[in-house]
């Protein structure tokens, strides 16, 4: 996808954070915007900012709601036209001790971080295939979907799922003229933790003092040291233009990714001779 002029970009979690950064980059590149978020106030602010740059429509949507998702997709097509760029970006970050793990919290995180992405794919991919032409999908995962950090098992599980989903769709959807990229952000200057706490279910297990402190420190690190959302937005558009599968926002995860790859290789049975892929065979 070399040109964004006149294209319709549908961006979930588009009212702030990484979604807003991608929306800004799309607007500067000439795309029309369908911004989707659960926060009506934040959507109004985003629309006020971006409307002077490009046609911008906003839609309140809980990405967990499949029927509502389909209705919003129909409305976007009526308002703006055919969506050719889908950015599945909405997500939450929560952590809980295994001693207080909870079905309800697991379901909440998975419903947003995994089902929310799949709902976008299920809603739009059949439309993209039917409409023909070139289309593109960007799924936001995390470096926590590539290696282990102290992000908690809930978040790691959800982001590993998005990595596997996106990698497997990359080749399959190429057959239909649909490009796919996987955004794996490191620390980005967003309010991810604070926003999650505002949305957190009332019945979710309370954070311990230690966990609350860790989350507070993580939010401070994002705010003070994270990559800017505008830089990330530009990175995403560059990757789309080049058709790259992986999008990293910094190099901070490199040691952990290398360590994981080395551990996986070291655990292979000794009967497997490590050779170039073109000559793989068992002995």
Task: Give all strands of the β-sheet with 178-184 in edge-to-edge order.
Answer: 56-60, 32-37, 8-12, 83-88, 135-140, 178-184, 246-248
**Which backbone phi and psi does 253 adopt, to 5 degrees?**
-85, -5
**The one catalytic residue among 59, 69, 136, 155:** 155
* CA distance linking residue 95 with residue 193, whole number of Å: 10
Between the alpha carbon of residue 207 and those of residues 21, 95, 106, 124, 214, the distances in Å are: 30, 8, 14, 37, 10
Nearest to 87 by CA among 201, 235, 253: 235
Confirm whether 103 is a catalytic residue.
Answer: no
* CA distance linking residue 261 with residue 117, whole number of Å: 26
* CA distance linking residue 223 with residue 207, whole number of Å: 21
Q: Which positions ≥6 away from 1 have C-beta within 8 Å? A: 7, 84, 85, 134, 135, 136, 179, 240, 241, 243
- Catalytically annotated residues: 155
């Amino acid at each position: 996808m070399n040109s964004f002029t006149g294209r319709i970009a549908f961006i979930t979690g588009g009212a702030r954070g990484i979604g807003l950064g991608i929306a800004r980059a799309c607007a500067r590149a000439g795309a029309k915007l369908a911004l989707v978020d659960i926060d009506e106030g934040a959507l109004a602010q985003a629309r006020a900012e971006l409307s002077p740059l490009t046609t911008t429509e906003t839609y309140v949507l809980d990405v967990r709601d499949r029927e509502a998702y389909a209705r919003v997709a129909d409305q976007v097509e009526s308002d703006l036209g055919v969506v050719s760029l889908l950015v599945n970006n909405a997500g939450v970050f929560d952590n809980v001790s295994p001693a207080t793990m909870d079905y309800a919290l697991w379901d909440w995180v998975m419903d947003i971080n995994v089902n929310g992405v799949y709902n976008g794919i299920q809603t739009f991919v059949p439309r993209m295939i039917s409409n023909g032409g070139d289309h593109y999908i960007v799924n936001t995962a995390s470096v926590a979907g590539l290696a282990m950090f102290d992000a908690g098992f809930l978040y790691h599980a959800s982001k590993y799922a998005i990595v596997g989903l996106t990698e497997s769709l990359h080749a399959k959807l190429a057959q239909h003229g649909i490009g796919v990229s996987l955004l794996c952000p490191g620390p980005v200057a967003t309010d991810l933790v604070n926003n999650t706490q505002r949305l957190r279910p009332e019945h979710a297990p309370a954070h311990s003092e230690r966990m609350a402190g860790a989350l507070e420190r993580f939010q401070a690190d994002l705010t003070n040291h994270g990559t800017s959302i505008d830089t990330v937005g530009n990175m995403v558009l560059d990757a789309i233009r080049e058709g790259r599968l992986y999008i990293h926002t910094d190099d901070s995860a490199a040691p952990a990714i290398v360590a994981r790859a080395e551990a996986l290789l070291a655990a292979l049975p000794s009967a497997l001779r490590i050779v170039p892929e073109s000559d793989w065979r068992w002995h």
